[in-house]
Amino acid sequence: MTPRQTLDYCTYDVFTDQAFGGNPLAIVFEADNLNAAQMQVIAREFNFSETVFFQTPKEASHTMRLRIFTPTRELPFAGHPTIGAAVALSDLGHGPDLILELGVGALPAKAEQGAASFHAAQPVETLARPDAELVAKTLGLLQTDIAKPPVMASMGVPFTFTALTSRAALSNIEIDLTEMRTGNARYPSGRDFSQAAYWRDDSASNEAGHDVIHLRMFAPLDSIPEDPATGSAAATLAGLLCADRGAPVSLTVYQGQDMGRPSVIKAQASDNGVTISGPAIKMMQGQILV
């Protein structure tokens, strides 16, 4: 029998300071000897929305190289793996200032005392403006539940952002996979027609640029029926709102409440990019036999 490699791993719940909340993340340490196919198999085995692999950085001055995988593909950028990885590095004695290598380039981050932040300077790219009727059908809603035309945008991972008219509409979403496949064919952007539907709480938001947002994100064609916390979606939404208003914005994004894993993401956007911040809590540790 071929000897098997032993790798240490841990898991964190991200964008929460409460156990069994937020978005679970698996972190695999010392993964230099793994190839992409092996990392993909391990990510599928964990079956979290993302698994991150720590590798030696290409630049000696950088803290760590991060390879991020969903159960079906590698991502160049994702929010909750970046926050979770930064907190894990802090727990290992790194920081508070970190430089993380991702597929989108080097991201500066800061982590201490169970919380982290990172700054993403890559531009928000508008990819398409999907048909509102198709998006409504994909979400299982009426077209009258949509507050303004949907927009597909990306800072490394594409999402279709749809503002809804009420919190009730957000809770009532039931994804239609047939319509989602139609959308993926009509607006190809990768493996999925990922939906980021949101509602702005006007009673809690203010005119000074602070918005309270309730968000849900669905990517079932990428084996993510619903995500409890999506930092890359929060970052892209903040960038979109900043561009629309021509002024800096600050968001408090609530996600995961409808699936029993409450999360809170902080996002600030200006002409210089987007900063995402939040806590993470260690949950499990062990070994993988590869």
Q: Which residues are the active-site residues?
A: 50
Q: Helix crossing, 231-245 with 79-91: angle to 10°?
A: 120
Give residues with Cβ within 8 angstroms of 59, minimum separation 6: 99, 101, 106
Q: What is the CA radius of gyration of the chain?
A: 18
- Determine contact, residues 45/67, Cβ cutoff 8 Å: no
**DSSP state, residue 140:** T
Which residues have a Cβ under 8 Å from the Cβ of 111 and sit 6 or more positions away? 86, 87, 89, 90, 94, 95, 96, 98, 117
| List of E strands, 78-167 | 97-102, 105-112, 115-120, 125-128, 151-154, 158-163
Contact 72, 88 (CB under 8 A): no
Residues in the chain: 290
Cis peptide bond N-terminal to 24, omega within 30:
no
The residues pairing with 10 across neighbouring beta strands, listed in sequence order, are 27, 285
